[in-house]
Amino acid sequence: DAKQGNILSFFKKT
């Protein structure tokens, strides 16, 4: 099954 990705792994905190 596909695993749900996470926004924080794409966009970094500023």
Residue whose structure tokens are 């905190």 = 13
Quote the CA–CA distance of 12 and 14 in Å, as a whole number: 6
Q: Closest distance between another protein and the C-beta of residue 9, in Å? A: 7
CB of 1 to another protein, least distance (A): 7
Name residues contacting another protein, limited to 1-14 (CB under 8 A). Answer: 1-14
- Please give the C-alpha separations between residue 9 and each of 1, 3, in angstroms, as whole numbers: 19, 13
| Nearest-approach distance from CB 3 to another protein, in angstroms | 5
Residues lying near another protein in the complex (CB under 8 A): 1-14
